[in-house]
Amino acid sequence: MTKTEELLEKISKHINSLNIAWYIKEEVIASLKYLHWYKLKNIDKNMDSFCEYLIFLNDQNTEKIKSLCTGEGKKEQHSPKELNYFFAPEKKLNKENEKLYMKKLSENGYELLTLVQWIKGVLVLSIDEFCNASKTRMDIHNMLMKREVKNHK
């Protein structure tokens, strides 16, 4: 196994341990596979900030899914995916809420697709920022994240 593969595996294990939607995990890991060792090293060096950012994106995703309407009157479609593929709330859902969210997801396919594509686009651009992370860039990122999280709450 090369140094790059070892580092990618280490980062992937860390990302897989996060409580975030599976599609976000998949997108991050798929994007990281194409990076050189020195870019992965920058991500590893800033792993705490990177994970905080992924959790922030997941929170944005969760908020958007919670705001989907129930779509009364729409023909129900069945989604082949598990709920945790799209949705990873902070607290575990009971069975009733899980059914409600599965219904929301299956009735709002277009909105869900738009949300997923938006998150994936932001994620790809963000990964590039972390790959080229100088101390100044990371300080700016951390300052902006603190302000955004403060405004979000």
Compute the distance between CA of residue 90 and CA of residue 137 in angstroms, rounded to an integer. 29
Q: pLDDT tier at 70 (50, 70, 90 boundaries)?
A: low
- Domain region containing 34: 3-152
Summarize the confidence of residues 68-74 as an average pLDDT.
58
User: In total, how many domains does the chain have?
Assistant: 1
The residue count for the chain: 153
Q: How far apart are CA 37 and CA 99, in angstroms?
A: 43
- Looking at per-residue pLDDT, the higher value among 126 and 27 belongs to 27
Look at 137 and 11; give whichever has higher pLDDT.
11
Encoded tokens for 101: 């969210």
Q: Tell me the pLDDT tens digit for each residue of 40-62.
A: 999 999 999 999 999 999 999 98
| pLDDT tens-digit map of 88-134 | 888 888 889 888 888 888 888 888 888 889 888 888 888 888 888 78
What pTM value is reported for the model? 0.77
Is 52:145 a contact under the CB 8 Å cutoff?
yes
Residues 60-68 have a mean pLDDT of 87
Nearest Cα neighbor of 108 from 56, 153, 69 is 69
